[in-house]
Structure 1
Amino acid sequence: MRARLALLVTAVSVLIVIAFLVPLALLLRTAAEDRATSRATANAQSLAPVVGTADVNTVRLTVEQLVAESGRPVSVFLPDGTVLGTQSAPTPAVELAARGQSLTAETADGREVVIAVQGRTDGITVIRAVVPYDEMTAGVDRAWLVLALLGLLLVLIALAVADRLARTLVRPIGELSAVSHRLARAELDARVDPSGPAELREVGGALNHLAGRIQELLVQEREQVADLSHRLRTPLTALRLEAESLRDPQDAARVTDAVDGLERAVTGLIRQARWHTRADSAAVTDAVATVADRVAFWSVLAEETGRRVDLDLAPGPLPVNVSTDELAAAVDALLGNVFAHTPDSTAFAVRLVPAGDQVVLTVADEGPGIAADSVRRGASQAGSTGLGLDIARRAAQASGGRLELGETPGGGAAVTLRLGSPKP
């Protein structure tokens, strides 16, 4: 923007300078020509009294003296054809002046001034003074150079003023852009110092108000989520008491483990909402241990619903750049979708293998398949919350990977999580 403003002002300044200086330069040249012509005319007219009354010798001496003083060719054509002063053949202008008409004409050597003098008894005498081109243009080149330098100086001054003005506009805009990027990076305390023209100050104030409003809304949202999560503590406590009252130790342990996992998830949610913390980006988890643990948990339900589980885990450990809680939530979301969206007795497979600098987790089932847009947050095929695949997608992206949707050879769904591994 700064360069464009400078270019615009430069173009306008150049046009203005040309519009004023070109006519002025032409006027200077015309004035120089007129001055030279006026001097030549005055010299020729000064000879008229002498030519009209004096004898030939006196006229000759006077003309020669004028030629020596003025430095320009001056000729006197007598009626008998005699030429006094600078020798020159009669020109068409001289022949016209011999009929009694004075005039100025252009020649190859410059401009000639011819004056018809009457009064001699033998006829009309013609005085011819020549103005060379060098005399007509004397000083014009220097004047044009001065005008050119003046025009260049004016353009440079306009450019400097335009650049200073552009900086007063560009700097506030740059600050607005920087604060916008900081807000986009979740630096909600970023504020702009309104400056520049009134319009930009108004935009800066509006951006500060927007940032403050966003911060208020996020605080309210986090407080509501934290309060809602905290309310889950009571039913969790009741569920734990019920689990402890089960007679079968295995059932009690299994339900207690589930309650523990749910309580950890609730605790993490409260921490995230209250203290604005996300899963540690530097956390590293053994994917083999986490996936094996979650598959073992869901295998109990799979056995009760008649589902066959094929588990293929590469030898561990396989570290990935995601926290244990996030990876467990992602695996639970994928396996939970299998149970929620496929009929009982539908088999599914879980496969975890390394692939270069990534670890690939694939959950495939033999159900009816999955729509391509189901990964969109809130999208659901069976009236659920539509957050399961989004949770898995965010876990994969947090590790530096991605989520992919596909199909099995039998038409079932195949969800692949590509999880980033820490660099060696």
Structure 2
Amino acid sequence: MRRRLIQSTLAVVLVVIAVFGVSLVIVETRTISNSAQERVDSEALRLASIVDSRILGDENITAEILRSQVGENQYAVIRMSGRPPIELGTRPEGDVIRSSADGEEGEGVTVEEPRSSVTREVGRTLLIIGAVALLAVVAAVLLAVRQANRLASPLTDLAETAERLGSGDPRPRHKRYGVPELDRVADVLDSSAERIARMLTAERRLAADASHQLRTPLTALSMRLEEITLTDDPDTVKDEANVALTQVERLTDVVERLLTNARDPRTGSAVSFDLDEVIQQQLAEWRPAYRSAGRAIVSSGKRHLQAVGTPGAVAQVLAALIENSLMHGGGTVALRTRVTGNQSVVEVTDEGPGVPADLGARIFERTISGRNSTGIGLAVARDLAEADGGRLELLQAQPPVFGLFLSRTPPLRKQQGDDDAPMVR
């Protein structure tokens, strides 16, 4: 591209120089020739007037007296009646510029000048024009190179940016070039880079959340299936199979919830539900795991509380807290329910060492973990709680107490006839 820009600019300059240069040479040549002819004509008239004045004054007219009146490169002949011609200067050879003039006393004056003087002057003019044209070409080349670099370098940068986007590097460059059209392209590429970065972040977050959130239901389902394989009692098999089916339904709800949050985290399906049912469900699912670890999980507090949220999401939040206590806590895990203001609160606590002081303020950040774990369980739990208008907080670090706050106010329902009302845009 640089070469094409330089070539096109140089071609335009050469055409302009050719058109205007040739015209200028023709005009200057004619001007110099006309000026030389006018000079010779003027010299002939001047010399004739001098001769007239000397004749009228009865003064001598000789070559010695008139020699100083003729220029260095000029030749003059004065013819008077009854006298021999008077020659002044050296007669030029070759082509000459000639002019004749007649005086009032009948004398004739002829002045000649070699045309070589005109040729030399034309040559000097052509040399000057050629030098100016050469400088114009050099300046045009330098300007073309500068302009080509100014245009080609940004295009190269933009191509590299597009290539980086295609290779999966969505970092915006925020680089501008002072050319409105190129800056517009850079703006579009930076905007695309930011959108791609957000999409990649969302995809990675979905993958991490899915791997973490699906692990707990799958582990519980695996334990139920193991219970079925270890018993021959049909009633036990039936009970465990029913529990397994319930866990499959929860697993399906987890998947749907993750996909919904990936599309739009603000999309909620909050309803009023019985909090005891969700808590008892979690106790039943986690007791086998706690028995295997030699620990217990219990519930206490106010019963028959109503809460507003998505039951599946609340179950996932409680499962994350219970699993967190199983992995990092110790002793008995207790789920306590209480009421504060217009909110139902579920507190999850254990008898373990608690949350380290250096992690207390960052415990809900992704990748923050006190041990070798993914570090996203509590972050996902907080996101799920906030999606339906609740909140998850660390109420106490030692011993650890996590509080899940859920509204007790049922969601507003549309009044009768709202569906028939026209939509206002």
Same fold, TM-score > 0.5, yes or no: no
Interval of TM-score (by shorter of Structure 1 and Structure 2): 0.3 to 0.5
